[in-house]
Amino acid sequence: MRKSDLLLEEKHHDAFASEYTQRRKGDFIWEVPEEIFLLKKKYFRKKITVVDMGCGPAISVVNILGRKLLDKLNYLGIDISKEMLKLAKKNIPKGKFIKGDISNPKIKANSIDVIISLGALHHVKSKKLTLHRWSIILRRGGYILLREPTYEALKRGMGESPIEEGIKFSELTESFTLNNLLPVKYNFFSTP
């Protein structure tokens, strides 16, 4: 991602960090589907390494998985916003955190068991390149758990932050194929 885009995203997320914590506590469309369809405890075993890409305040993973389980994992949160990371550190005290760009994580190849991205991938310019980089750090048999808006639901310029844009389903499936990732399940949601 270009440095100017990163700075725009960082500035936006720093400004709204505390609001994200408040919104996540009871927002049905974001919270409940994650618990029912995505963040199932079966993906999270003791001692595995989990990276939360664009972790924000990490409130969803705490609300759904609970601190007890999170304390047994090697949890790493990556976010562009220092304000979001301050909140995340309070929410997951035993976690590790990196201020950085999720489109190019500085993580050793084949070292991650689960990658979580709860509404962060649509903030990067090249979703395909980002998914390719994520596939490199993922261990064989690992999982990438995504919750993202589609391009049809969130066209560029319609979102809250400056560069966010939904993902084209064809781009997502092409990325999976090119990177030898096997989709386990797709769920589609819409709001009234």
Average pLDDT, the chain: 83
Contact 10, 81 (CB under 8 A): yes
pLDDT, position 123: 87
Residue 121 CB-half CA count within 13 A: 28
Q: What is the DSSP letter of 166?
A: P
SS3 at position 46: coil
pLDDT, position 26: 46
Q: Which residues contact 59 (CB under 8 A, 6 or more apart)?
A: 20, 21, 24, 25, 87, 91
pLDDT digits (tens, 9 = 90+) for 95-128: 999 999 999 999 999 999 999 998 889 888 889 9
Contact 46, 82 (CB under 8 A): no
pLDDT, position 183: 80
Contact 54, 119 (CB under 8 A): yes
SS3 at position 61: helix
Phi, psi of 169 (to 5 degrees): -60, -40
What's this model's pTM, rounded to 2 decimal places? 0.82
pLDDT, position 192: 45
Q: Which residue has the tokens 């560069």?
A: 163
pLDDT, position 6: 67
